[in-house]
Structure 1
Amino acid sequence: MLNSTLSYFILGAYVYVGTLRYFYFIITAMLYILIVITNTFLIVVICMNRSLHEPMYLFLCSLFVNELYGSTGLFPFLLVQILSDIHTVSAPFCFLQIFCLYSYGSVEFTNLAVMSYDRYLAICYPLQYNTRMTTNKAVILIMVIWLYSFVKFLITLSLNIHLTLCGNTINSLYCHNYLVAKLACSDVKVNNIYGLFGIVLTILVPLLPILFSYMKILKVCFSGSKQTRQKAVSTCTPHLTSLLNFSFGCCFEILQSRFDMTSVPSVFRIIFSLYFLIIQPLLNPVMYGLQMSKIRNTCKHVLCYMMFACRRDTM
């Protein structure tokens, strides 16, 4: 069982910034508000417009919901910690945050994997796309994505909660599963085995459909017409950008947690640890909102309608 005396964790990665804390608080709050507004706006646009009730946009809606989920697991906590002089977190909340942030990462990567397969069907089988990827299939896939990620990390969490911990200092800005497990002084053999199994489930399983899909898409591009190549590029650019950005962010986070980074300036360590939790929720609404003409045009109509309604009410 978890040590009865261990009721909280200390977050050791915070540095004293004096009055600059208020500046960091304002910047962080503005980022969170921007993430909430942009992602919520696009979710509403997709839900309210019947022409966007297609598999591709349903997957995007799931992606935007996940950005809100992951951001809410981090930003309110981060805002409290920025203003606090004592950087501690209760053990139950710490494990809850671990579950939220890790399941967010799993949902993100798995959702992007399913979206790559969806793009493969749209580009390689355009005439059969509507029969191969129906709305009902898309809804089932979205449910599987979320259930798969939640169950996987519920098992991870249950294994970690029952560890006997001999310390309570985590060298991170937020609760981190790997760093909590490093505090254990009990047998962690089962945790390590499932940890390796979890890495396979989290990375390798989504990676296979991504590689398969893009190999097939590239094959079609090289053998197809110029129009086919242009369609593939315009369709896949937002997805590839999002996928590469999230992958790089995860690599940064792994480097930060697994290796000794004391020689790296604290500013860069903070960027490494927060990159995929901040940049990804900001990038996705911009990439998909600007690059996909159907969403872009719908957003323009909604904004114009809102501005017209506001002017009519003020008259």
Structure 2
Amino acid sequence: MKKRILLLVLFISAFSWGQVQLSEGTPTQTIDFSSTVTGVSNGAFTGTGFQATPTAGQLDSDAWAVTGLSDGALAFGVTRITGDYARGAVNSQQSTGGIYAHTGAPNSVANPCLMFQPSGSDFSPGTITLRIQNNGVGFINQIVASYNIFYRNDQASSNTLNFSYSTDDTSYIAVGALDFATPVAASGTTWLQEGSTPSRSTTITGLSIAPSDYFYIRWNSDDVVGGTRDELGLDDISVTASFGPPSAPVITSDLTASGFVGVPYTYSILATNSPTSYNATGLPAGFSINTSTGVITGTPGATGTF
């Protein structure tokens, strides 16, 4: 019995670390695909796939999710160590769709880049998502995210690599200022970095991520001009959190509403930052609010503005 209890404790501990961890003591994490980041990667990436307990050279699938590959989606925690997800390490242009470790200049075997080769059935469109967890004691109010973009503009086509974020892994907010697309006109086989380091950076404010809750950042790719597609790369992903008290909710539902005398009426208060309770004052006679859900109900008995 003691052995079983110990194994359960170890499993829970390992599972809780399977994503990017941010706390007051460690507010910044950088993923450069060249070293181990607990819960994210195991050593220098070698293009050999994803699993929840990664071997050397693999990425931790508890932190990564992928869509758009012909071998099927990678959900968090799932094993994908063959085919599209494990195309290996390369230092030159490719044509087979999938995920690679790019080791050619300015990268190297010791300092690779996460590379995607889009094709007609791979990553066009597609997404790769990185899961981040608040491992602190305060709320995360702000996240600064930056990363480097690489590409090989060897084809007369154009592919995007755009950024978005989410607090629930369902509704994503695009950051248009970070959009990137490879040039349509081919320019050669050199592996290029977009701009200077970092290629893209953004500050995400107004957050209220509670301890143990998650935050998600995503890169989306699709065709602008199809055909044989350029290669894309991500490297040096950095996330820095600022901690504090919960951010105040902001009402997002309509601030005015109307009904009809004698007809039952329902109105739902919607707000950001996960309110824990609701209230309303000045309600008409016969109306009430559910302080747990924010739903106001009642039947108007007279005309008026309230």
The bucket for the TM-score relative to the shorter chain is: under 0.3
TM-score scaled by structure 1? Answer: 0.23
Question: Which has the larger Rg?
Answer: 2
Higher helix content, 1 or 2: 1
TM-score scaled by structure 2? Answer: 0.24
Higher strand content, 1 or 2: 2
Higher relative contact order (CA 8 A, sep 6+): 1
